[in-house]
Amino acid sequence: MQARTLGVISLGCNKNRVDSELALGVMKEHGWTPTSDPAQAQVILVNTCGFIGPAKEESINTILEMAAYKETGRCELLAVTGCLAQRYAEDLLREIPEIDLLLGVNQYDHLPEAVETALRERGRPVLQADPETFFEHERVLTTPAWTAYIRIGEGCSNRCTFCAIPLIRGPYRSRDREAILSEVRGFARQGVREHILVAQDTTRWGTDHGGHSQLPGLVRDCAAIEGVDWLRVLYCYPDETDERLLDAMAELPNVCPYLDLPVQHISDPILRRMRRRGDSGDIRRCLRLARERGLTLRTSLIVGFPGETEEQFRELIDFVEEAQFDRMGAFAYSAEEGTPAARLPDQIPEEVKQERLDRLMRLQASISRKKNQALVGSTLKVLVTDVSGSRALGRSEREAPESDGEIRFSCGRPVAPGSFVPVRITQAGTYDLSGVLEEVAP
């Protein structure tokens, strides 16, 4: 009898990746064998992203691409889930008849039964998501064996005017502490060396019933688990990033001294229009405290928000020059259906948004190059991610996977992916570094 095979295509953010890994885990428990080759999959599941326009377009194109395997491969059922499915269920079913099963978010406990029903009855069932649920199950990792994302919260209650996430995934709720610690322990025993805490807003963890963020205590608890070589925290908000969290990042040897603080803008009128928590003073306070502790700083910014004047954009440019972020991502504002910002007056023309984005990224490129050049001659502890002969790739504590640069290095002895090695930096580019393997550990 031929194995029942499942192919999962995961799009969008790392929180979506966790959902895909949950889907693989629950389906594997019900007798389905994961495959990375969609041509060999009896069931193909596309986990979509619906955050901004380009992500929606990529999701739709991927659905249509996977539908072709009904003709060219083994595919008997095409399932679609995730944020786009949650938000546009009726539109997707109407416009893409190739979809056989559609689920929203947080419905993976129903996935095996829904797949069996769809295969048997050839209908087009749609499952409505319950945004309040938190599905716990063993996951099948789709990351390299040495890295895992640990989701500590779901949804978002910040209600930023530009963001559709609360409309899709509901209000914020913290994941249970013991469930988080149990997952970290399990992955550590499995050989995972880098554990990355993620949520839409990690610093909101533990605030569901009032009070301040409980993230600092969670970080210390996770770091104390045997086998956790690196613990990384992503997506912190300035108003809840306090000295307790920064001290944990700076003091604990296995917590990456890396602060990801998506501030979006620095102009107070823009921040108010975005409905961001806190103000420019909170942002500068947080950055000052982080710099005092020697943390690597990453942020993300939005240019061309409705009503942004040239003066306010200039204020943003001056701020980036002042802050000297080690890492930065920036985006041109995208008006998303159903969000308050899409209805604001004074929408900025696309060409103006793009011109501002280009100016900002040129500035950051020069800052990044200067920061990298300062590392030449230093020796960094590097997690090896790929090896080809005498050349290898890796990352230090300063680089998060997928979003930051890489370190290329030559090695005179064998090294294994997933191991830590000392690398002396010899060259610096705008975003990537080059070096040579050293014999003595840093």
345 in the same domain as 196: yes
- As beta bridge partners, residue 57 has none
| Closest residue by Cα to residue 308 from 363, 261, 352 | 352
| Closest residue by Cα to residue 23 from 185, 142, 128, 117 | 142
3-state secondary structure of 283: helix
Q: How confident is the model at residue 2 (pLDDT cuts 50, 70, 90)?
A: low
Q: Flag whether pLDDT at 1 surpasses 60.
A: no
Domain final position from 373, 388, 412: 373
411 in the same domain as 366: no
Q: 362-378 pLDDT, tens per residue?
A: 999 999 999 999 999 99
Give the structural domain span for 337.
147-373
Domain count, the chain: 3
Q: What percent of the chain has pLDDT over 90?
A: 80
Lowest mean pLDDT among 125-129, 288-292, 359-363: 125-129
Lowest mean pLDDT among 126-135, 283-292, 357-366: 126-135
In a domain, 361, yes or no: yes
Q: 381-429 pLDDT, tens per residue?
A: 999 999 999 999 999 999 999 999 999 999 989 999 999 999 999 999 9
Positive/negative CA dihedral, 198, 199, 203, 208: negative
In a domain, 412, yes or no: yes
Q: What is the pLDDT of residue 131?
A: 55
In a domain, 355, yes or no: yes
411 in the same domain as 295: no
199 in the same domain as 84: no
Q: What is the pLDDT of residue 442?
A: 46
**Mean pLDDT, the chain, whole residue set:** 93
In a domain, 135, yes or no: no
Q: Flag whether pLDDT at 96 surpasses 50.
A: yes
Rounded to an integer, the average pLDDT of 193-197 is: 98
Query: What are the DSSP calls for 180-208, one per residue?
Result: HHHHHHHHHHHT--EEEEE-SSGGGTT-T
387 in the same domain as 356: no
Q: What is the pLDDT of residue 123?
A: 65
263 in the same domain as 120: no
> What are the strands of the beta sheet with 147-151, ordered from one edge?
147-151, 194-198, 230-233
Rounded to an integer, the average pLDDT of 214-234 is: 98
290 in the same domain as 329: yes
| Closest residue by Cα to residue 203 from 121, 261, 126 | 261
Q: What is the pLDDT of residue 108?
A: 86
233 in the same domain as 290: yes
CATH of the domain at 121: 3.40.50.12160
Distance, CA of 322 to CA of 313 (rounded, Å): 14
Rounded to an integer, the average pLDDT of 124-138 is: 70
314 in the same domain as 196: yes
Give per-residue burial for 96-124: e unless 16+ CB within 10 Å, then b: eeebbbbbbbbbbebbbebbeebeeeeee
Intra-chain end-to-end CA distance of the chain, in Å: 53
| Closest residue by Cα to residue 119 from 154, 82, 74 | 74
256 in the same domain as 191: yes
Rounded to an integer, the average pLDDT of 54-78 is: 94
Domain final position from 321, 338, 373: 373
In a domain, 136, yes or no: no
CATH of the domain at 186: 3.80.30.20
Domain final position from 324, 350, 373: 373
In a domain, 432, yes or no: yes
In a domain, 268, yes or no: yes
In a domain, 425, yes or no: yes
Contact by Cβ (8 Å): 230, 223? no
| 107 or 141: which leads in pLDDT | 141
146 to 229, 254, 343, 386, 416: CA distances (angstroms): 10, 15, 44, 12, 11
In 326-417 the beta strands, taken as DSSP E runs, fall at 327-332, 379-388, 391-395, 407-410
Rounded to an integer, the average pLDDT of 47-65 is: 90
Distance, CA of 247 to CA of 219 (rounded, Å): 11
Q: 275-305 pLDDT, tens per residue?
A: 998 899 999 999 999 999 999 999 999 999 9
Q: How confident is the model at residue 130 (pLDDT cuts 50, 70, 90)?
A: low
316 in the same domain as 207: yes
Distance, CA of 252 to CA of 230 (rounded, Å): 10
**Checking DSSP bridges between strand 194-198 and strand 147-151, what pairing results, if any?**
parallel
Contact by Cβ (8 Å): 4, 32? yes
172 in the same domain as 221: yes
